[in-house]
Protein backbone atom coordinates (compact mmCIF):
# COMPACT_ATOMS: atom_id res chain seq x y z
CA UNK A 1 0.00 0.00 0.00
CA UNK A 2 0.98 3.60 -0.61
CA UNK A 3 0.34 5.91 2.31
CA UNK A 4 -0.54 9.58 2.19
CA UNK A 5 -1.54 12.04 4.84
CA UNK A 6 -4.92 13.11 6.14
CA UNK A 7 -6.08 16.25 7.90
CA UNK A 8 -9.64 16.59 9.08
CA UNK A 9 -12.38 15.86 6.56
CA UNK A 10 -10.06 16.26 3.58
CA UNK A 11 -6.43 15.62 2.85
CA UNK A 12 -3.66 17.18 0.83
CA UNK A 13 -0.12 16.12 0.15
CA UNK A 14 0.84 19.71 -0.52
CA UNK A 15 2.57 21.53 2.31
CA UNK A 16 2.86 25.26 2.36
CA UNK A 17 6.11 26.34 0.78
CA UNK A 18 8.77 26.33 3.49
CA UNK A 19 11.20 28.66 1.73
CA UNK A 20 11.40 30.97 -1.24
CA UNK A 21 11.51 29.61 -4.78
CA UNK A 22 14.92 28.04 -5.44
CA UNK A 23 17.26 29.91 -7.80
CA UNK A 24 20.22 27.62 -8.32
CA UNK A 25 22.54 28.71 -11.16
CA UNK A 26 22.74 26.50 -14.24
CA UNK A 27 26.31 25.28 -13.57
CA UNK A 28 25.38 24.23 -10.03
CA UNK A 29 22.36 22.28 -11.29
CA UNK A 30 24.55 20.37 -13.75
CA UNK A 31 27.04 19.60 -10.96
CA UNK A 32 24.27 18.43 -8.59
CA UNK A 33 22.97 16.04 -11.25
CA UNK A 34 26.45 14.66 -11.94
CA UNK A 35 27.24 14.21 -8.24
CA UNK A 36 23.97 12.48 -7.32
CA UNK A 37 23.04 10.54 -10.48
CA UNK A 38 26.35 10.15 -12.26
CA UNK A 39 24.75 11.68 -15.37
CA UNK A 40 26.57 13.96 -17.78
CA UNK A 41 24.14 16.66 -18.90
CA UNK A 42 24.37 17.43 -22.62
CA UNK A 43 21.29 19.67 -22.80
CA UNK A 44 19.45 21.59 -20.06
CA UNK A 45 16.26 23.57 -20.65
CA UNK A 46 14.39 25.62 -18.04
CA UNK A 47 10.67 24.74 -17.74
CA UNK A 48 8.03 27.17 -16.42
CA UNK A 49 7.23 26.78 -12.73
CA UNK A 50 5.52 28.82 -10.04
CA UNK A 51 7.14 27.55 -6.83
CA UNK A 52 10.01 25.28 -7.96
CA UNK A 53 12.87 25.12 -10.43
CA UNK A 54 12.11 22.63 -13.19
CA UNK A 55 14.44 21.52 -15.98
CA UNK A 56 14.10 19.27 -19.00
CA UNK A 57 17.39 17.58 -19.77
CA UNK A 58 19.20 15.13 -21.96
CA UNK A 59 22.06 13.10 -20.51
CA UNK A 60 24.63 11.00 -22.30
CA UNK A 61 23.88 7.89 -20.22
CA UNK A 62 20.17 7.52 -21.14
CA UNK A 63 18.14 7.65 -24.35
CA UNK A 64 15.00 9.29 -22.99
CA UNK A 65 14.67 12.91 -21.89
CA UNK A 66 14.34 13.60 -18.17
CA UNK A 67 12.90 16.22 -15.83
CA UNK A 68 14.76 17.50 -12.78
CA UNK A 69 12.89 19.34 -10.02
CA UNK A 70 14.33 21.46 -7.22
CA UNK A 71 11.60 22.11 -4.69
CA UNK A 72 10.95 23.63 -1.28
CA UNK A 73 8.16 21.07 -0.76
CA UNK A 74 8.33 18.68 2.19
CA UNK A 75 10.43 15.57 1.48
CA UNK A 76 7.65 13.21 2.62
CA UNK A 77 5.46 14.57 -0.15
CA UNK A 78 8.06 13.92 -2.84
CA UNK A 79 8.62 10.40 -1.52
CA UNK A 80 4.89 9.78 -1.81
CA UNK A 81 4.91 10.95 -5.42
CA UNK A 82 7.63 8.40 -6.12
CA UNK A 83 5.59 5.62 -4.51
CA UNK A 84 2.35 6.53 -6.23
CA UNK A 85 3.76 6.95 -9.74
CA UNK A 86 5.66 3.68 -9.36
CA UNK A 87 2.41 1.96 -8.37
CA UNK A 88 0.50 3.52 -11.27
CA UNK A 89 3.06 2.40 -13.83
CA UNK A 90 3.26 -1.10 -12.36
CA UNK A 91 -0.49 -1.62 -12.11
CA UNK A 92 -1.39 -0.08 -15.48
CA UNK A 93 1.58 -1.79 -17.18
CA UNK A 94 2.26 1.31 -19.28
CA UNK A 95 3.77 4.74 -18.86
CA UNK A 96 0.61 6.51 -17.73
CA UNK A 97 2.71 9.02 -15.75
CA UNK A 98 6.35 10.05 -15.15
CA UNK A 99 8.68 7.47 -13.60
CA UNK A 100 10.98 8.67 -10.83
CA UNK A 101 14.72 8.06 -11.37
CA UNK A 102 16.70 7.17 -8.25
CA UNK A 103 20.20 8.43 -7.40
CA UNK A 104 23.38 6.37 -7.29
CA UNK A 105 22.51 5.81 -3.61
CA UNK A 106 19.04 4.52 -4.64
CA UNK A 107 17.30 7.60 -3.23
CA UNK A 108 14.16 8.95 -4.87
CA UNK A 109 14.58 12.32 -3.14
CA UNK A 110 17.66 14.06 -1.76
CA UNK A 111 18.34 17.40 -0.12
CA UNK A 112 20.69 20.22 -1.11
CA UNK A 113 21.48 23.63 0.37
CA UNK A 114 21.84 26.94 -1.45
CA UNK A 115 22.30 30.38 0.06
CA UNK A 116 21.44 29.06 3.52
CA UNK A 117 18.18 27.39 2.43
CA UNK A 118 17.37 23.71 2.06
CA UNK A 119 15.67 22.24 -1.01
CA UNK A 120 14.57 18.78 -2.10
CA UNK A 121 15.44 17.32 -5.51
CA UNK A 122 13.73 14.71 -7.66
CA UNK A 123 14.29 13.41 -11.20
CA UNK A 124 11.75 11.66 -13.42
CA UNK A 125 11.26 10.59 -16.99
CA UNK A 126 9.83 13.24 -19.31
CA UNK A 127 6.45 12.18 -20.72
CA UNK A 128 6.73 12.79 -24.46
CA UNK A 129 3.86 14.21 -26.46
CA UNK A 130 1.69 17.30 -26.64
CA UNK A 131 -0.41 18.61 -23.81
CA UNK A 132 -4.13 18.58 -24.49
CA UNK A 133 -3.98 22.38 -24.23
CA UNK A 134 -1.82 22.40 -27.38
CA UNK A 135 -4.35 20.40 -29.41
CA UNK A 136 -6.78 22.47 -31.49
CA UNK A 137 -10.15 21.11 -30.43
CA UNK A 138 -12.20 24.14 -31.49
CA UNK A 139 -13.06 22.81 -34.96
CA UNK A 140 -13.28 19.12 -34.11
CA UNK A 141 -16.42 17.27 -35.14
CA UNK A 142 -18.50 15.29 -32.67
CA UNK A 143 -16.82 12.08 -33.85
CA UNK A 144 -13.34 13.57 -33.47
CA UNK A 145 -14.17 14.83 -29.98
CA UNK A 146 -15.31 11.37 -28.96
CA UNK A 147 -12.14 9.80 -30.39
CA UNK A 148 -10.02 12.15 -28.28
CA UNK A 149 -11.95 12.50 -25.03
CA UNK A 150 -13.12 8.89 -24.62
CA UNK A 151 -9.56 7.60 -24.06
CA UNK A 152 -8.93 10.50 -21.69
CA UNK A 153 -11.95 9.40 -19.65
CA UNK A 154 -10.83 5.78 -19.72
CA UNK A 155 -7.27 6.54 -18.61
CA UNK A 156 -8.44 8.93 -15.90
CA UNK A 157 -10.70 6.18 -14.59
CA UNK A 158 -7.86 3.65 -14.77
CA UNK A 159 -5.69 5.94 -12.69
CA UNK A 160 -8.45 6.57 -10.14
CA UNK A 161 -9.29 2.87 -9.89
CA UNK A 162 -5.65 2.03 -9.14
CA UNK A 163 -5.36 4.87 -6.61
CA UNK A 164 -8.57 3.79 -4.88
CA UNK A 165 -7.54 0.14 -4.75
CA UNK A 166 -3.83 0.33 -4.01
CA UNK A 167 -3.39 3.46 -1.92
CA UNK A 168 -4.30 4.06 1.72
CA UNK A 169 -4.15 7.18 3.91
CA UNK A 170 -2.25 7.74 7.15
CA UNK A 171 -3.31 10.36 9.68
CA UNK A 172 -1.08 13.38 10.06
CA UNK A 173 -1.52 17.13 9.70
CA UNK A 174 -1.21 18.82 6.33
CA UNK A 175 -1.90 22.33 5.08
CA UNK A 176 -5.06 22.52 2.98
CA UNK A 177 -5.64 24.93 0.14
CA UNK A 178 -8.28 26.46 -2.12
CA UNK A 179 -7.87 23.76 -4.74
CA UNK A 180 -9.47 21.10 -2.55
CA UNK A 181 -13.07 21.14 -3.80
CA UNK A 182 -14.36 20.28 -0.33
CA UNK A 183 -13.10 23.69 0.83
CA UNK A 184 -14.80 25.70 -1.90
CA UNK A 185 -16.53 27.96 0.62
CA UNK A 186 -13.13 29.33 1.63
CA UNK A 187 -13.05 31.43 -1.53
CA UNK A 188 -16.02 33.47 -0.22
CA UNK A 189 -13.80 36.30 1.12
CA UNK A 190 -12.45 36.78 -2.42
CA UNK A 191 -15.91 37.18 -3.92
CA UNK A 192 -16.49 40.93 -3.86
CA UNK A 193 -16.81 43.80 -6.32
CA UNK A 194 -13.16 44.86 -6.12
CA UNK A 195 -12.09 41.52 -7.57
CA UNK A 196 -15.12 40.67 -9.72
CA UNK A 197 -16.21 44.01 -11.16
CA UNK A 198 -19.04 42.69 -13.36
CA UNK A 199 -22.17 42.66 -11.11
CA UNK A 200 -23.80 39.75 -12.98
CA UNK A 201 -20.70 37.61 -12.73
CA UNK A 202 -20.28 38.50 -9.08
CA UNK A 203 -23.82 37.32 -8.34
CA UNK A 204 -23.20 34.19 -10.40
CA UNK A 205 -20.26 33.11 -8.24
CA UNK A 206 -22.25 33.88 -5.09
CA UNK A 207 -25.11 31.71 -6.33
CA UNK A 208 -22.73 28.82 -7.02
CA UNK A 209 -21.36 29.07 -3.49
CA UNK A 210 -24.90 29.08 -2.10
CA UNK A 211 -25.76 25.99 -4.13
CA UNK A 212 -22.58 24.23 -3.01
CA UNK A 213 -23.27 24.98 0.64
CA UNK A 214 -26.95 24.04 0.53
CA UNK A 215 -27.08 21.04 -1.80
CA UNK A 216 -23.61 19.46 -1.69
CA UNK A 217 -22.06 19.90 1.75
CA UNK A 218 -24.84 18.05 3.63
CA UNK A 219 -24.23 14.99 1.40
CA UNK A 220 -20.46 15.04 1.22
CA UNK A 221 -19.93 12.48 4.00
CA UNK A 222 -21.97 9.93 2.02
CA UNK A 223 -19.50 9.92 -0.88
CA UNK A 224 -16.68 7.42 -1.34
CA UNK A 225 -13.16 8.72 -0.80
CA UNK A 226 -9.77 7.94 -2.28
CA UNK A 227 -6.56 9.55 -3.45
CA UNK A 228 -7.09 11.65 -6.58
CA UNK A 229 -4.75 13.51 -8.92
CA UNK A 230 -6.84 16.64 -8.26
CA UNK A 231 -5.63 18.71 -11.23
CA UNK A 232 -6.36 16.87 -14.49
CA UNK A 233 -6.50 20.03 -16.57
CA UNK A 234 -5.52 20.37 -20.24
CA UNK A 235 -1.92 21.28 -19.39
CA UNK A 236 -1.48 18.14 -17.26
CA UNK A 237 -2.85 15.65 -19.81
CA UNK A 238 -0.37 14.39 -22.41
CA UNK A 239 -1.75 13.10 -25.70
CA UNK A 240 -0.09 11.22 -28.55
CA UNK A 241 -1.83 10.21 -31.75
CA UNK A 242 -1.37 6.52 -32.56
CA UNK A 243 0.76 5.95 -35.65
CA UNK A 244 -1.26 3.08 -37.09
CA UNK A 245 -4.91 3.31 -36.04
CA UNK A 246 -5.21 7.01 -35.13
CA UNK A 247 -6.19 6.32 -31.52
CA UNK A 248 -4.89 8.66 -28.84
CA UNK A 249 -2.42 7.54 -26.18
CA UNK A 250 -2.94 9.37 -22.86
CA UNK A 251 -0.67 10.21 -19.95
CA UNK A 252 -0.83 12.46 -16.87
CA UNK A 253 1.78 14.74 -15.33
CA UNK A 254 2.09 17.06 -12.30
CA UNK A 255 1.00 15.04 -9.27
CA UNK A 256 1.75 17.89 -6.86
CA UNK A 257 -1.86 18.65 -5.91
CA UNK A 258 -2.87 15.10 -4.94
CA UNK A 259 -5.25 14.78 -2.03
CA UNK A 260 -7.32 12.15 -0.25
CA UNK A 261 -10.89 13.35 -0.63
CA UNK A 262 -14.14 12.56 -2.46
CA UNK A 263 -13.42 10.40 -5.51
CA UNK A 264 -15.96 12.25 -7.67
CA UNK A 265 -13.92 15.43 -7.30
CA UNK A 266 -11.53 14.02 -9.90
CA UNK A 267 -14.19 13.99 -12.60
CA UNK A 268 -15.63 17.35 -11.57
CA UNK A 269 -12.25 19.05 -11.81
CA UNK A 270 -11.35 17.42 -15.10
CA UNK A 271 -14.72 18.23 -16.69
CA UNK A 272 -14.65 21.82 -15.45
CA UNK A 273 -11.42 22.44 -17.34
CA UNK A 274 -11.95 20.27 -20.40
CA UNK A 275 -15.53 21.30 -21.19
CA UNK A 276 -14.18 24.84 -21.67
CA UNK A 277 -12.07 23.70 -24.63
CA UNK A 278 -14.93 23.52 -27.17
CA UNK A 279 -18.06 25.50 -28.11
CA UNK A 280 -20.09 22.30 -27.50
CA UNK A 281 -18.99 21.40 -23.97
CA UNK A 282 -21.59 18.67 -23.46
CA UNK A 283 -20.11 16.61 -26.30
CA UNK A 284 -16.84 16.53 -24.37
CA UNK A 285 -18.64 15.71 -21.13
CA UNK A 286 -20.58 12.83 -22.65
CA UNK A 287 -17.55 11.22 -24.31
CA UNK A 288 -15.30 11.52 -21.26
CA UNK A 289 -17.92 10.58 -18.69
CA UNK A 290 -19.19 7.55 -20.60
CA UNK A 291 -15.69 6.10 -20.94
CA UNK A 292 -14.85 6.86 -17.30
CA UNK A 293 -18.06 5.22 -16.04
CA UNK A 294 -17.45 2.08 -18.07
CA UNK A 295 -13.98 1.68 -16.56
CA UNK A 296 -14.69 2.88 -12.99
CA UNK A 297 -18.48 3.10 -12.36
CA UNK A 298 -19.95 6.23 -10.81
CA UNK A 299 -22.70 5.94 -8.21
CA UNK A 300 -26.10 7.65 -8.63
CA UNK A 301 -25.29 10.05 -5.79
CA UNK A 302 -21.98 10.98 -7.41
CA UNK A 303 -23.78 11.81 -10.66
CA UNK A 304 -26.34 13.91 -8.78
CA UNK A 305 -23.70 16.11 -7.13
CA UNK A 306 -21.46 16.34 -10.19
CA UNK A 307 -23.13 19.44 -11.75
CA UNK A 308 -22.71 21.43 -8.53
CA UNK A 309 -19.08 20.33 -8.21
CA UNK A 310 -18.20 21.27 -11.78
CA UNK A 311 -19.61 24.75 -11.22
CA UNK A 312 -17.85 24.99 -7.86
CA UNK A 313 -14.44 24.32 -9.43
CA UNK A 314 -15.16 26.89 -12.16
CA UNK A 315 -16.22 29.41 -9.52
CA UNK A 316 -12.99 28.84 -7.59
CA UNK A 317 -10.91 29.22 -10.74
CA UNK A 318 -12.49 32.47 -11.91
CA UNK A 319 -12.55 33.95 -8.37
CA UNK A 320 -8.83 33.29 -7.89
CA UNK A 321 -8.08 34.63 -11.38
CA UNK A 322 -10.08 37.76 -10.55
CA UNK A 323 -8.06 38.24 -7.38
CA UNK A 324 -4.80 37.84 -9.30
CA UNK A 325 -6.03 40.31 -11.91
CA UNK A 326 -6.68 42.82 -9.14
CA UNK A 327 -3.21 42.24 -7.66
CA UNK A 328 -1.21 41.88 -10.90
CA UNK A 329 -3.21 43.51 -13.71
CA UNK A 330 -0.18 43.61 -16.02
CA UNK A 331 0.44 39.84 -15.91
CA UNK A 332 -1.70 38.56 -18.79
CA UNK A 333 -0.24 35.05 -18.48
CA UNK A 334 -2.34 34.50 -15.37
CA UNK A 335 -5.58 35.09 -17.26
CA UNK A 336 -5.19 32.96 -20.39
CA UNK A 337 -8.15 30.70 -19.53
CA UNK A 338 -10.18 33.05 -17.36
CA UNK A 339 -12.72 34.12 -19.99
CA UNK A 340 -13.39 30.55 -21.20
CA UNK A 341 -14.05 29.61 -17.57
CA UNK A 342 -16.56 32.42 -17.18
CA UNK A 343 -18.32 31.47 -20.42
CA UNK A 344 -18.65 27.82 -19.37
CA UNK A 345 -19.85 28.78 -15.89
CA UNK A 346 -22.50 31.05 -17.42
CA UNK A 347 -23.56 28.29 -19.83
CA UNK A 348 -23.90 25.68 -17.09
CA UNK A 349 -25.66 28.05 -14.69
CA UNK A 350 -28.25 28.88 -17.33
CA UNK A 351 -29.37 25.24 -17.15
CA UNK A 352 -31.53 24.08 -14.29
CA UNK A 353 -29.84 21.42 -12.16
CA UNK A 354 -32.20 18.67 -13.31
CA UNK A 355 -31.42 19.24 -17.00
CA UNK A 356 -27.68 19.23 -16.38
CA UNK A 357 -27.96 16.08 -14.29
CA UNK A 358 -30.01 14.36 -17.02
CA UNK A 359 -27.28 15.08 -19.57
CA UNK A 360 -24.68 13.47 -17.32
CA UNK A 361 -26.93 10.52 -16.48
CA UNK A 362 -27.50 9.82 -20.17
CA UNK A 363 -23.74 9.48 -20.65
CA UNK A 364 -23.73 6.79 -17.95
CA UNK A 365 -26.97 5.15 -19.02
CA UNK A 366 -28.30 5.83 -15.54
CA UNK A 367 -32.03 6.34 -15.14
Using one digit for the tens of pLDDT, what is the confidence trace for 326-360?
A: 787 776 655 667 889 999 999 999 998 889 999 99
Q: What is the pLDDT of residue 8?
A: 36
Q: What is the pLDDT of residue 31?
A: 97
As a whole number, mean pLDDT of residues 103-127 equals 93
Contact indicator for 175, 317 with CB cutoff of 8 Å? no
CB atoms within 10 A of CB 125: 18
Per mean pLDDT, which range of 12-21, 99-108, 306-315 is the poorest?
12-21
Contact indicator for 168, 1 with CB cutoff of 8 Å? yes
Please list the alpha-helical segments (H only) found in the chain. Answer: 26-37, 75-92, 142-166, 199-211, 264-274, 281-295, 300-327, 338-349, 353-363
Please indicate whether residue 256 or residue 142 has the higher confidence score (pLDDT). Answer: 142
Quote the CA–CA distance of 362 and 358 in Å, as a whole number.
6
Q: What is the pLDDT of residue 16?
A: 38
262 dihedral zone (left: phi>0; alpha: psi -120 to 50; beta): beta
Could you read off the pLDDT of 268-313 as tens digits, one per residue? 999 999 999 989 999 999 999 999 999 999 999 999 999 999 999 9
Q: What is the pLDDT of residue 172?
A: 30
CB atoms within 10 A of CB 93: 7
Q: What is the pLDDT of residue 171?
A: 34
Quote the CA–CA distance of 350 and 90 in Å, as a whole number.
44
**pTM across the whole model:** 0.86
Amino acid sequence: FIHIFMAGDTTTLLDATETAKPTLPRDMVIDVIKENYGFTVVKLQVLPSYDDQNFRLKVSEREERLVFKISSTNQDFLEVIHSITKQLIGSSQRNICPQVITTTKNEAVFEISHEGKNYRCLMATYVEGKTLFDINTQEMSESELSTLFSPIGKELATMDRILARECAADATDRVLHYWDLARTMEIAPLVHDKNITDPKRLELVKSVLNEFEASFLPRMKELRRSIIHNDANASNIIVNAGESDGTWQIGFIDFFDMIHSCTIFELAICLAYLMALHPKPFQIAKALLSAYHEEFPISPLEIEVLPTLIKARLATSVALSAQKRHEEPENEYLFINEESGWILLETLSALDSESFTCILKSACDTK
